[in-house]
Structure 1
Amino acid sequence: MTVFTCRDSLEAMLTCIYDAWYSRLGHDNVRLEIEPIEQLNMFDTYVHVEADERKAMAVADAVNMKISPAFYGEIVYCLGAYERDVLDTVYRVLVLGFKHGAGVLDAYGYEAVSRFKAIRIRYGREASSFLEFVRFNLVEGVYVAHFEPKSRVLLTVAEHFADRMPSEHWMIIDDVHREAAVHPCNEQYYIRKLSAEEYDRLKATEDYDDSFTELWKVYFKEIAIKERENYRCQLTHFSKWKRKHVTEFA
């Protein structure tokens, strides 16, 4: 078995798909994994793949034109998930997609499609929870929020707030993947990969407390109905690992 490996950026993963496909080794003889590799198999051959914009665009164009733009959108969202097998799962789904068309995503009889859907659902749930619980601080005229997702949901979260806060300067920082969505007032937002220096500087913004921070904490506490508190139910809807940067739980 030949294992193609790459870093966890979208461009690198699409490049990995390209190289595995055009290796001509046969789909059953290749596997795709995201680095770092947790456990090496001495009987496998490992091939590291570097990101290549041309190859990544070739995959994107092929999926958009030969299957459908909606299918490509589903692929991109799924590749943002944290599951270790997501890249290989997407590869298997693409093999089916080029053979059967976009409708294959409804064919749950295929193991790859079933797994793809499960990953996609978990990604959507994680993104949805952060849409509700991202909290901003006002720092020198810019609304700044931090969060720590398992999956790369920053793009989905940024799209949500770009629609709801189009006339504000804001920044949402993914502390796990060291990326930031930057939105200038009345302009299009963009995603920026943060250097170590930039990340350290932005990390300090969490020490700022604007005039509404304490007010919000008091409001959250006072509206609670003590007789109806259900901590276990809270954890079901909003797990502990998601709460680190949420004002009312700080």
Structure 2
Amino acid sequence: MSDTIRQVYLYDGTFEGFLCCVFESYMKKETPVDIVPDTFEQFFLYPIKEIETDRGHADRVFRSFDIKMSPEVTDFIKCGFLTCHPKKEMLMYRFIRKGYRVGGGIIDCLADPDVHELYKAVKHLKNEAHLLRGFIRFGEYNKTLVSVIAPKNWVLPLLAEHFSDRYNGETFMIYDEVHHSALIYHPYEWMLVPIDDFTLPEADAEELLFQQLWQRFYKTIGIKQRFNPKCQMTHMPKRYWSHIVEHQPEGLAVSGEKRHLSGS
């Protein structure tokens, strides 16, 4: 591909938009200097080219992954887009170009710096999703189960199936305050929706009571002589504690105001 025209691709931040960047690159036989979402605030040294999202173009690129590589690579690319790697777009772009040449075996080429870097990012994503399957705590607000998380990666797509199966008869919402999105489930369907701002409503007396009971249960079953903060943080990193009931000061509610229990 020609590198004579050095420019930055600007896209809408969606996976389909990124695939359209790949389509544009191949159709115009050009290699972008960088690929960035339109929310990215930075001064660029190179001209900016805005890439319009076209579902037809995105579908053509997406179908090519199975044909020219493999379904495993397709899943890997989808996960790559969910990672928090600061340069994931160009990393994925280079990975895809190499994958078109090598085929499905590209996923095993860990000696390649781009493959290895993307592999580490996807591994971090999956590890975080695995941890959150155990760390998420729900509270009940207006007959709806609600949880707030603050992950580094966009893990909601990886959590959807797990929690939809586990709570298939409930109505629940998991809000990601970092990526401003929410997983909303109502029997028997789920959706991912963007939410710019969200604050938990005040918990009622029953919910506050259950939170306090859980805190006391957690404290009671602990063996004082075996308390090991370093080991605890290894299995439950401290950055997750702010949204876990048992790590709040006893008697405080995990709500918008974190107020004391009535009568406590």
1:2 to 7, 13, 38: 7
Contact kept, 8 Å, 2:68 with 2:104, in 1: the verdict is no
Q: Contact 1:34/1:87 (CA < 8 Å) preserved in 2?
A: no
* 1:66-77 alignment runs, 5 A limit: 66-77=68-79
TM alignment of 1:13-24, pairs within 5 A: 13-24=18-29
Q: TM-score normalized by structure 2?
A: 0.82
Indicate if the aligned counterparts of 2:141 and 2:203 stay in contact, CA closer than 8 A: no
- Matched to 1:183, the amino acid is Y
Q: How does 1:69-108 map to 2 (within 5 A)?
A: 69-108=71-110
Alignment of 1:131-170 (within 5 A): 131-170=133-172
The TM-score, its normalising length taken from structure 1, stands at: 0.86
Larger CA Rg, structure 1 vs 2: 2
The answer as to whether partners of 2:69 and 2:105 remain within 8 angstroms in 1 is: no
Name the CA shift for 1:207/1:178 in 2 (closer, same or farther; >3 Å).
Answer: farther
CA RMSD of aligned residues (A): 2.2
Between 224-233 and 117-126, report the one with greater CA deviation.
224-233
Query: What CA deviation, in whole Å up to 9, does each residue of 1:206-229 have, x standing for no partner?
Result: 645614211111111111122222
Aligned to 2:189: 188
Whole-angstrom CA distance in 1 between matches of 2:41 and 2:230: 33
Alignment-mate amino acid for residue 213 of structure 1: Q
Contact 1:158 1:172 in 2 (8 A): no
Percent identity, aligned pairs only, is: 26
Q: Please tell me whether the aligned partners of residues 31 and 88 of structure 1 are also in contact (alpha carbons under 8 angstroms).
A: yes
* Structure ranking higher on relative contact order (CA contacts 8 Å, 6+ apart): 1
1:31 is aligned, of 10, 29, 34, to: 34
| 1:172–1:181 CA contact under 8 A, matched in 2 | yes
AA matched with 1:58: R
| Residues 45, 171 of structure 1: alpha-carbon distance in 2 compared, 3 angstrom cutoff | same
Q: Deviations over 1:41-78 (max 9, x none)?
A: 52x23323343323222221221333222211111111
Counterpart residue identity of residue 192, structure 1: V
TM-superposed deviation, 1:167: 1.8
Between the aligned partners of 1:18 and 1:206, the Cα distance in structure 2 is 48
> What count of residue pairs does the alignment treat as equivalent?
241
Q: From 229, 234, 241, give the equivalent of 2:239.
A: 241
Equivalent of 1:204 in 181, 200, 204? 200
Q: Which amino acid letter does the alignment assign opposite residue 24 of structure 1?
A: K
